[in-house]
Chains A and B, each alone.
Chain A
């Protein structure tokens, strides 16, 4: 072939060249290209607002609802459409930053699978009905049920949504409110309450010189990823703090650590006691700050014993101990694997005790704020409420259940027996924007406007240095006329029950503006008129709340950490890890987040199981083999991904996939490890022991290509990141 064949001739040779241009199969112009004249309408403003210039965006302040952190956002609105979200620089939680989940909020709003009208169950399926009929049905069912048989199941709620739910409960006599979040800090909160006297103690990573994170993925799937990522940036700036991460599976935060140590998952509490023992034995910390029983427990818990339980060598424990001794203040943070054990409370308490011994309490763990408006504070969720809810469903204790912001049909482990019994609840109402698994089981579905169309207020659990009430305001008109704001739906029901109290409010906007203005005296605003105060709140996207800092009352007690016991039948610990992006599965319907690679495995649009290469070799598993992961409760099959950032006795399967519903982007993709979990709970708090389930694995004969960004984990000798061996470092740097 002559070398002179150019592109045009090549296309001609293929017989695809036309007079004006070539059209290759599969290379058709996408339908978004609208060059045709006279096809698209261009409608002018009827009478424009003065500041509106078509083509130039206007930014409105609001509050992000993609997770429960409560970040302030600015939404760019152009020609009446929300196009982009950025962080609100004045918001104390995120100071102008957002995470990828926040950025993807607009995709929830424009999602093609949104629920567009009320629906009721008719025969097998859901059929569209009118709001009048939906409201009449709900009123009738609520009137027919006694209060102790009506329940709400929600995610973490705060601000005026919480107030509305509680008003509703009061008006209908409903007795139960289950608050369920898979990614939660409930065990830590109870430990903070019991040992420090304040459940809302605030972490200050930025004030620490060294952070020992025991599996806490604080920058990834945590209760406030942007806040902690900001604190981390501050921690690394200037004095450059040192991050030591000890965990069973390398998380995004672990990937940034100076020292990463694998540990047998769930034994981090033993490590904390071993470290405390080391520090006390050397006389480096004052043992009198803890109770005598705890002191005795620590004295018994030698480094050798900790090494045996955790699988971390005694030498390594002592080295970590030395760093904690020499560099103060430090901060020891427990992650989900610590809290998610049957002795999770005890292990977390051991970690808090280490913080107390190191003098971190008051320095890198600060008291929360004493917010005067208790009813606006966040009602934080956990998995304990899921267990209690499932129990009540099983025992047929509930007649009417209302779901909002929680998807227990997806998140409940099979072992809770919840799925089988939900059908026995006579009337299930789902208030939702998307057709998730719980919606598909409901008898009545009320379509909630998207977060970018709705009014609300949110109070962050940890809002950094200034408590604020974040104001959520619509960033555009409703896309679907038949959807309603959450507050409007509840106000509608309250108006029927208590017309004297609520009849005066035309809509939730009227209610909210009244309610917000009423709290002016509790705010830091200097505005004098209600109108100016309300406008300032909308403009800033938040109201600063006057609140003094609480005081800690430190109390310690004995903790019990069990010895390690190998399980012959189920040799591996299952780590159902949440990750920044799909989170607990709530973002699986957002293509941007499906497309964003996992921060560690770099896999997109799918599930996988992370295994240490040595563990894999034991079973003859190669990367890409489909493996069957079996627990006592069930099995899932997914692709093996071999990764050295795993403990050899653990297997990690990320949360988020395995949806049977939830729209076109989520459905039928990957597996949901939550289904495998045992129904065991933390003895003290009743929270689900999410990391206590043990599994075995079986190789199948099938393989599957893992679709991931970047094909290799090694540098192929190219030296992008220079490394030295630990021995050389110790010799040359004396570390």
Chain B
């Protein structure tokens, strides 16, 4: 009760050192025998396989992705500018919409509705379409780094990378969930492309 003295400390240290060296040696052997996989810059991605048919989500404004992406060739990351910097891609601030639409297409009913929000100093209450549970840590930033920037992939074609998880948004007006976004689906892509397999990479 009264006194605890670690007089065996020296012995422990010696034993610990042996264990550490052994472990290190084993690690080297194992590492050397493994094929080189994973995050090499050159590897072309293998898109995940699988589809899902989500519900039609009614949005405050029927935002036409097709007009922006397909007709006007606007890069996804022009509006979803946070995708490369953050875990979320982000809905563009209303001020960004109005940056163009103070002038462009002001006669269209959707733009008039947007302008109403703008004048009320409110953002449209968009509904979330692609959602993950709170215990899943997904980051757009890391995926864009792997599939776009690390590969020197042309940024103007980023929509084809976004399509891995979001489908052909260029053919939709408001977003529609067309990929399962569940763990098995994520995992299949991680396995195909050498993504991390540790539980805590996503569940942290």
* Physical interaction between A and B: yes
A-side residues, CB < 8 A to B, are 32-48, 53-56, 258-261, 644-645, 721-724, 726, 729, 732-733
Shortest Cβ distance from A455 into chain B, in angstroms? Answer: 26
Given contacts A259-B2, A259-B3, contact A39 B128 (CB under 8 A): yes
B126 with A43: CB separation less than 8 A: yes
A42 with B127: CB separation less than 8 A: yes
CB contact between B128 and one of A42, A721, A724 (< 8 Å): that residue: A42
Shortest Cβ distance from B102 into chain A, in angstroms? Answer: 13
B115 interface residue (CB < 8 Å to A): no
A34 with B127: CB separation less than 8 A: no
CB contact between A39 and one of B3, B88, B124, B127 (< 8 Å): that residue: B127
Cα of A726 to Cα of B7 in the assembled complex, Å: 13
Which residues in B have their C-beta under 8 angstroms from that of A46? 93-95, 121-123
B-side residues, CB < 8 A to A, are 1-8, 54-55, 57-58, 82, 85-88, 90-95, 121-135, 139, 177
B57 with A38: CB separation less than 8 A: yes
A45 with B93: CB separation less than 8 A: yes
Query: Which interface residue of A53, A260, A726 has the most chain B CB atoms within 10 A?
Result: A53
Shortest Cβ distance from A56 into chain B, in angstroms? Answer: 5
Which residues in A have their C-beta under 8 angstroms from that of B86? 53-56
Task: State the main secondary structure of chain B at its contact with A.
Answer: loop
Which residues in A have their C-beta under 8 angstroms from that of B122? 46
- 10 A–B contact pairs at CB < 8 A? A33-B135, A35-B133, A37-B128, A37-B177, A43-B125, A53-B82, A55-B86, A56-B86, A261-B2, A729-B7
Which residues in A have their C-beta under 8 angstroms from that of B1? 260, 644-645
B134 with A260: CB separation less than 8 A: no
Shortest Cβ distance from B97 into chain A, in angstroms? Answer: 9
Which residues in B have their C-beta under 8 angstroms from that of A729? 3, 5, 7
Cα of A40 to Cα of B4 in the assembled complex, Å: 56
Closest to B120 in A: A46
A47 with B54: CB separation less than 8 A: no
Shortest Cβ distance from B186 into chain A, in angstroms? Answer: 13
B133 with A38: CB separation less than 8 A: no
CB contact between B95 and one of A48, A644, A733 (< 8 Å): that residue: A48
Which residues in A have their C-beta under 8 angstroms from that of B85? 53, 56
CB contact between A38 and one of B2, B7, B129 (< 8 Å): that residue: B129
Cα of A724 to Cα of B6 in the assembled complex, Å: 8
Which residues in B have their C-beta under 8 angstroms from that of A40? 127-128, 131
Which residues in A have their C-beta under 8 angstroms from that of B128? 34, 37-42
B93 with A260: CB separation less than 8 A: no
Which residues in A have their C-beta under 8 angstroms from that of B55? 37-38
Which residues in B have their C-beta under 8 angstroms from that of A733? 5, 7
B5 with A34: CB separation less than 8 A: no
A45 with B131: CB separation less than 8 A: no
Cα of A418 to Cα of B24 in the assembled complex, Å: 68
Which residues in B have their C-beta under 8 angstroms from that of A259? 2-3
Which residues in B have their C-beta under 8 angstroms from that of A724? 3, 5, 7
Which residues in B have their C-beta under 8 angstroms from that of A645? 1
Which residues in B have their C-beta under 8 angstroms from that of A48? 93, 95
9 closest residue pairs by CB, A with B: A38-B57, A55-B86, A44-B91, A55-B88, A47-B95, A55-B87, A45-B93, A38-B127, A33-B133
Which residues in A have their C-beta under 8 angstroms from that of B90? 44, 53-55
CB contact between A41 and one of B87, B88, B94, B125 (< 8 Å): that residue: B125
Which residues in B have their C-beta under 8 angstroms from that of A42? 91, 126-128
Which residues in A have their C-beta under 8 angstroms from that of B130? 37
Which residues in B have their C-beta under 8 angstroms from that of A43? 91, 123-126
Which residues in A have their C-beta under 8 angstroms from that of B123? 43-46
Cα of A258 to Cα of B2 in the assembled complex, Å: 8
Which residues in B have their C-beta under 8 angstroms from that of A261? 2
Shortest Cβ distance from B145 into chain A, in angstroms? Answer: 15
Shortest Cβ distance from A357 into chain B, in angstroms? Answer: 26
Not counting A33-B133, A36-B131, A44-B93, a sample of 4 additional A-B residue pairs whose C-beta atoms are within 8 angstroms of each other reads A37-B131, A40-B127, A47-B94, A726-B3
Which residues in A have their C-beta under 8 angstroms from that of B133? 32-35
Closest to B8 in A: A722
Which residues in B have their C-beta under 8 angstroms from that of A721? 4
Which residues in A have their C-beta under 8 angstroms from that of B129? 37-38
Given contacts A55-B87, A56-B86, contact A38 B58 (CB under 8 A): yes
Cα of A539 to Cα of B90 in the assembled complex, Å: 27
Which residues in A have their C-beta under 8 angstroms from that of B95? 45-48
Cα of A46 to Cα of B57 in the assembled complex, Å: 22
Given contacts A34-B131, A46-B94, A54-B82, contact A722 B6 (CB under 8 A): yes
Given contacts A39-B127, A47-B95, contact A723 B5 (CB under 8 A): yes
Closest to A719 in B: B8
Which residues in B have their C-beta under 8 angstroms from that of A44? 90-94, 123-124, 126
Which residues in A have their C-beta under 8 angstroms from that of B94? 44-47
Closest to B4 in A: A723
Closest to A44 in B: B91
Shortest Cβ distance from A642 into chain B, in angstroms? Answer: 13
Given contacts A46-B95, A48-B95, contact A41 B2 (CB under 8 A): no
Cα of A645 to Cα of B4 in the assembled complex, Å: 14
Which residues in A have their C-beta under 8 angstroms from that of B91? 42-44
Which residues in A have their C-beta under 8 angstroms from that of B135? 33
Shortest Cβ distance from B20 into chain A, in angstroms? Answer: 19
Closest to A258 in B: B3
Which residues in A have their C-beta under 8 angstroms from that of B7? 722, 724, 729, 732-733
Cα of A721 to Cα of B6 in the assembled complex, Å: 8
Shortest Cβ distance from B172 into chain A, in angstroms? Answer: 13
Shortest Cβ distance from B2 into chain A, in angstroms? Answer: 6
Closest to A43 in B: B123
Which residues in A have their C-beta under 8 angstroms from that of B8? 722
Which residues in A have their C-beta under 8 angstroms from that of B177? 37
Cα of A721 to Cα of B12 in the assembled complex, Å: 12
Shortest Cβ distance from B83 into chain A, in angstroms? Answer: 10
Which residues in A have their C-beta under 8 angstroms from that of B125? 41, 43
Which residues in A have their C-beta under 8 angstroms from that of B3? 258-259, 723-724, 726, 729
Which residues in B have their C-beta under 8 angstroms from that of A37? 54-55, 57, 127-131, 177
Query: Which interface residue of A36, A44, A46, A726 has the most chain B CB atoms within 10 A?
Result: A44
Which residues in A have their C-beta under 8 angstroms from that of B87? 55-56
Which residues in A have their C-beta under 8 angstroms from that of B2? 259-261, 726
Shortest Cβ distance from B35 into chain A, in angstroms? Answer: 31
Cα of A733 to Cα of B133 in the assembled complex, Å: 59
Cα of A55 to Cα of B85 in the assembled complex, Å: 9
Closest to A36 in B: B131
B127 with A55: CB separation less than 8 A: no
Which residues in A have their C-beta under 8 angstroms from that of B124? 43-44
Cα of A40 to Cα of B82 in the assembled complex, Å: 20
Closest to A47 in B: B95
